């Protein structure tokens, strides 16, 4: 009788554990390159994005989500750990790629490792079995940029620290067996429109082929500091078309989940890694570079809810862990904004540091009404020499118009002043594009001092690692110099000269 009771208890325990495992949700992240919140559910009127609109109507849409870093590798390093990149030393873009390496602090693990330890099948790819991260068939050559060989199926990582590739089981969840999966769907996003004239024309033809028409450049709305030049208008139209193609890819992944009867048991997180790649967008801490879409849908997520509180994109990490019943590391700086005891933030923070060969240091704090930005290199222009940015037709056009004296005053002031204010303060709710700096206005002295103190405290509390050593810079620049780019060589020399001059 006693033995029968033990067997019964063990059987009950087995079925309870099995039931719990079956109830564990899948977690799927859409992580999109170079894209702001230019979706119709976020108020974009030039285009329609039905897939994300539907996702938002069936879940929660956050209207004030911001990245902690406005460039790919630093932002992704923060996202995948739930930590500020300035805390873990991963805040310089494409750093740790040379002889000198970056290792995560003790107790900090990438999110896929945490899922894997909890029995999840971890994967990173396009989310589709036949199309790659650009939305084109595998093997068509689109994988070259990511892996060095066509048809590569693993998705973009771009982490600045050393990590074990084994933390990903596969490029897709198809081989998971009975395990729940954690999937990162990596999409090319705003990068789809990049390249020379021939590539952009090919992209436009693809848009017409897949979506029926391309966006009319004359109908786009540009920030006020960009002139309505044909090059800039066409680029913004192609960017909006990249949003439309991204939305189409999202619809295909969701259709696959539905077909496999996994949609209702999958927490979906849609976000981007920073804002649009443009002169004052990507790499900078204004809304254009840091404000991103953030949408959740899945088990336990309210339907049709719009939240206006401040959140950070890195919050995807603890939200996802909590949904899966995995303990959130005690030192993780991101927050589970869905927890019952969550207290909305009073502020969110951002940091920009070296981007490629271009040295900079900018920090920001954003509260309910104000954005405070501190420039640590105020003697340098906003658009410092940078091979990546200067290789873009839009930036080349802006520089040409500047040299010819054809830019409006607002463009000259915000884009081409020889230096920057040490401090900037914007009442961003009424100043959507952060045009009017209030830092020198006596009426806002109290707010300036409050935000200055807040930023200082955050930098201390999070142990901001600040500038990198010259040895670390040289280590990473050795990798850049392998590209045999005269522009990069010239820019590195300029950075070193400016540093000697205290500029």
How many structural domains are present in the chain?
1
Q: What is the mean pLDDT of the chain?
A: 93
Rounded distance between C-alpha atoms, residue 34 and residue 21, angstroms: 36
Q: What is the pLDDT of residue 53?
A: 98
Neighbours of 433 (CB within 10 A): 18
Distance from C-alpha of 416 to C-alpha of 81, rounded to nearest angstrom = 36
pLDDT tens for 342-360 read 999 999 999 999 999 999 9
Give the rounded percent of residues in the chain with a pLDDT score beyond 90: 92
3-state secondary structure of 472: helix
Classify residue 255: in a domain, yes or no: yes
What is the pLDDT confidence band of residue 152, given thresholds at 50, 70 and 90? low
CA distance 317 to 336: 8
Residue 104, pLDDT > 90, answer: yes
- CA dist 449 and 457 (Å) reads 12
216 DSSP assignment? P
List beta partners, residue 296: 60, 269
Give one DSSP letter per residue of 90-130, joined into a string: --STT-S-SSS---PPTT---HHHHHHHTT-EEEEE-SSSS
Check if the beta carbon of residue 275 is closer than 8 Å to that of residue 36: yes
> Mean per-residue pLDDT for 146-159?
68
Residue of 307, 315, 309, 320 lying closest to 268 (CA atoms): 320
Whether the per-residue pLDDT at 5 is higher than 50: the answer is no
Buried/exposed 446-478: b ≥16 CB within 10 Å, e otherwise:
ebbeebbebbeebbeebebbebbeeebbbbbbe
- Name the residue with tokens 């339907």: 303
Q: Are 350 and 68 in contact (CB under 8 A)?
A: yes
Describe the strand order of the beta sheet including 348-352 as a list of residue ranges: 348-352, 362-366, 370-375, 423-427
Looking up tokens 């769907």 gives: 185
The answer to whether position 229 is within a domain reads yes
- Tens of pLDDT, residues 248-298: 999 999 999 999 999 999 999 999 999 999 999 999 999 999 999 999 999
Cite the DSSP H helix spans in 260-312: 287-290
Res 17: pLDDT:
36
* Domain membership flag for residue 16: no
pLDDT of residue 141: 57
Asked if the model's pLDDT at residue 144 lies above 90, the reply is: no
pLDDT band at 107 (very low <50, low <70, confident <90, very high): very high
* Cβ contact 477:492 at 8 Å: yes
* pLDDT of residue 3 exceeding 60: no
| Cβ atoms 256, 203 nearer than 8 A | no
Helix, strand, coil fractions of the chain, as percent rounded to 5: 40, 15, 45
Of 359, 347, 368, 373, give the one whose Cα is nearest residue 458. 347
Cβ-in-10-Å burial (0-12, 13-18, 19+) of 412 comes to: middle
DSSP letters, 206-220, are HHHHHHSSPPPGGG-
| 140-154, 255-269, 428-442, range with the lowest pLDDT | 140-154
Domain that holds residue 57: 23-503
Give a yes or no: residue 304 inside a domain: yes
pLDDT of residue 380 exceeding 70? yes
Band of residue 160 on the pLDDT scale cut at 50, 70, 90: very high
The tokens of 17 are what?
Answer: 């554990």
pLDDT 10s digits, 183-232: 999 999 999 999 999 999 999 999 999 999 999 999 999 999 999 999 99
In this structure, how many other beta carbons lie within 10 angstroms of the beta carbon of residue 363?
22
pLDDT at 138 (0 to 100): 87
Is 9 contained in some domain?
A: no
Q: Is the pLDDT of residue 139 over 90?
A: no
Whether residue 122 is contained in a domain is answered as: yes
Query: Could you tell me the two tokens for 35?
Result: 């894209």
Q: Any idea which residue has 């436009």 for tokens?
A: 204
Q: Is the pLDDT of residue 164 over 60?
A: yes
pLDDT band for position 23 (50/70/90)?
confident
Residue 490 within any structural domain of the chain: yes
> d(Cα 66, Cα 293) in Å, to the nearest integer?
8
b/e map 15-29, b = 16+ CB within 10 Å: eeeeeeeeebbbbbb
CA distances from 226 to 101, 284, 385, 412 (A): 39, 16, 19, 10
CA distance 150 to 188: 15
Q: Indicate the pTM of the whole model.
A: 0.93
The whole-angstrom separation of Cα 406 and Cα 253 is: 46
List b or e across 156-193, with b for residues whose CB sees 16 or more CB atoms inside 10 angstroms.
bbbbbbebeeebbbbbbbeebeebbbbbbbbbbbbbbb
Distance CA 93, CA 355 (A): 5
In a domain, 196, yes or no: yes
CATH number, domain containing residue 393: 3.40.720.10
Locate 498 and state its tokens.
């400016």
């Amino acid at each position: 009788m006693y033995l029968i009771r033990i067997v019964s208890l063990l059987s009950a325990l087995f079925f309870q554990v099995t039931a719990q495992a079956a109830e564990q949700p899948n977690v799927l992240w859409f992580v999109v390159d170079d894209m702001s919140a230019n979706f119709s559910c976020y108020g974009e009127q030039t285009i329609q994005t039905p897939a994300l609109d539907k996702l938002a109507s069936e879940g929660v849409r956050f209207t004030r989500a911001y990245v902690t870093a406005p460039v790919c590798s630093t932002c992704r390093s923060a996202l995948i750990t739930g930590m500020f990149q300035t805390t873990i030393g991963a805040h310089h873009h494409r750093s740790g790629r040379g002889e000198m390496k970056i290792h995560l602090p003790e107790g900090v693990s990438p999110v896929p490792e945490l899922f894997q330890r909890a029995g999840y099948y971890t994967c990173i790819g396009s989310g589709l079995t036949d199309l790659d991260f650009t939305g084109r068939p595998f093997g068509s050559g689109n994988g070259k940029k990511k892996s060095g060989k066509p048809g590569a199926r693993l998705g973009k990582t771009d982490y600045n620290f050393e990590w074990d590739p084994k933390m990903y089981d596969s490029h897709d969840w198809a081989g998971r067996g009975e395990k729940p999966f954690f999937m990162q769907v990596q999409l090319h996003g705003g990068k789809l429109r990049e390249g020379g004239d021939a590539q952009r024309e090919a992209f436009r033809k693809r848009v017409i082929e897949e979506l029926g028409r391309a966006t009319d450049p004359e109908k786009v709305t540009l920030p006020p500091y960009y002139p309505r030049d044909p090059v800039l208008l066409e680029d913004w139209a192609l960017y909006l078309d990249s949003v439309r193609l991204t939305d189409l890819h999202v619809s295909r992944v969701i259709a696959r989940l539905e077909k496999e009867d996994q949609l209702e048991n999958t927490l979906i997180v849609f976000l981007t890694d920073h804002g649009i790649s443009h002169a004052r967008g990507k790499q900078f801490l204004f809304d254009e570079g840091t404000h991103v879409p953030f949408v959740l849908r899945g088990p336990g997520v309210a339907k049709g809810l719009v939240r206006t509180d401040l959140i950070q994109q890195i919050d995807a990490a603890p939200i996802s862990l909590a949904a899966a019943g995995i303990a959130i590391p005690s030192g993780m700086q991101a927050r589970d904004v869905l927890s019952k005891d969550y207290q909305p933030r009073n502020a969110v923070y951002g940091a920009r540091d070296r981007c490629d060969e271009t040295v900079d240091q900018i920090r920001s704090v954003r509260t309910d009404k104000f954005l405070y930005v501190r420039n640590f290199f105020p003697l340098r222009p906003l658009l410092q020499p940078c091979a990546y940015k200067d290789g873009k037709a839009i930036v080349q056009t802006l520089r040409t118009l500047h040299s010819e004296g054809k830019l409006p005053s607002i463009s000259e002031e915000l884009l081409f002043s020889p230096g920057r204010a040490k401090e900037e303060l914007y009442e961003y709710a009424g100043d959507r594009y952060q045009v009017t700096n209030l830092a020198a206005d006596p009426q806002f002295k109290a707010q300036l001092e409050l935000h200055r103190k807040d930023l200082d405290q955050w930098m201390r509390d999070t142990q901001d690692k600040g500038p990198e050593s010259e040895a670390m810079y040289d280590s990473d620049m050795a990798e850049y110099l392998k590209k045999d780019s005269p522009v990069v060589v010239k820019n590195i020399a300029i950075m070193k000269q400016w540093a000697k001059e205290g500029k």
